[in-house]
Amino acid sequence: MTDSTAVRARLVETFRRDLIGPNPPPQDDDIRRERLTENPSRWYLAGFIAPADEDDHAAATADATTQEEKDTTGLIGELFDDADEGHGAGGAAGDDDDPEPPAAKRRFFPSSVGLTVLLPVETTAVDVCVSWGDYVTEPPLPPSVLIEDGKAQGDDAQKVAPRIDWVRVPRERTVSIAVDGGRGRCVVPESAAAQMGKGGGLELTWHARNFTINDPESGTQHVRAVTVFLVNRRSSARRRYADVAYAFQARVEIRTPQGVRPRFDLSAHASDDPDLRIADLHYRDVREYAVGRNAAADWRMDDDGQVRAAWTDYLPKAVVERVAPNENIPGVEFAIEALAALTEMFS
């Protein structure tokens, strides 16, 4: 018999597949090379990164109010919805025409995803595994049709299908990066858009710095904080086919044999509020091994208690222990019906 926990886990897994898409192997083999009948960015609501240079394109036409809403990192892409032309004089709506729809709100799509981990100070290099899915059109469209402002001519014009499907191409690359201090960047090998040929790719950027943390039990520790971002530096495609330049189900995983150091929340450790100090004591065993950027983070603990891999996660999950009242306390009523009757009695 299936219990409620298994049913809930199945619902969460179904929700993830519908909201984000396939996970890296060995999960979701049935949709690893799926075929969609509509744009993937309309099918999936999260988990993808858009080309960063879309933000530069938008800056030329966006108004000042929109500019203020931009992310300060400069890594947020922008797409524009198509608008119908007016039919009245001078572009205004005519007397017999329907009123013009309000201006569509510009949608902001993230162009990067990453995470931060604490490593032993002697760590000088880590492996970064990047996985994502490219969606290509079926039938295939030539680059002259896909590129920004490109116009199909001659034979290419005949290849533009009125209806296309989108087929997923799974991609994965592992890059070793030096984290002995400072900043760095590199292009992920063979990460250009699968259907556009040349024109940028996915880029890893990272920053490493040393600092000290104070642990109430073990004292001062020297650690190295490493932040790794995956940025979509691909060239943008035409709006209709923009998804060919997106990286869907983008995932960044940091692997290190030296292990990842845990981080504890010590914000209430020296507080003047006794309740906060008690709460800090209650949760003293809660530890965090990674912090996501534009996503949540997750990690895997090995049998020896060490965490050697952490990754981005768009659908974070947590185990919450069931809290049950102590019904052995004499003279205390716990039955909900009896409590409701008491409420009516004294209301």
**pLDDT computed for residue 46 by the predictor:** 93
240 within a domain of the structure (yes/no): yes
96 within a domain of the structure (yes/no): no
Positions in the chain short of pLDDT 50 = 55-97, 150, 152-158
293 within a domain of the structure (yes/no): yes
**pLDDT computed for residue 194 by the predictor:** 83
- 153/158 Cα distance (integer angstroms): 8
Query: The whole model's pTM is what?
Result: 0.74
What are 120-144's pLDDT values in tens digits?
999 999 999 999 999 999 998 887 7
Distances 209 to 83, 195, 257 between C-alpha atoms, Å:
47, 38, 19
**R_g (Cα) of the chain, nearest Å:** 26
**pLDDT computed for residue 215 by the predictor:** 74
Distances 33 to 21, 25, 169 between C-alpha atoms, Å:
11, 12, 6
98 within a domain of the structure (yes/no): no
**The sheet that has 125-138: what strands, in order across it?**
35-36, 165-178, 125-138, 248-255, 307-313, 296-301
**pLDDT computed for residue 322 by the predictor:** 75
The token pair that represents 125 in the structure block: 């290099």
Domain count, the chain: 1
117 within a domain of the structure (yes/no): yes
Q: Note down the domain range covering 239.
A: 4-81+103-313
**pLDDT computed for residue 157 by the predictor:** 46
- Omega before residue 26 within 30° of 0, cis: yes
**pLDDT computed for residue 204 by the predictor:** 97
**pLDDT computed for residue 308 by the predictor:** 97
**pLDDT computed for residue 71 by the predictor:** 32
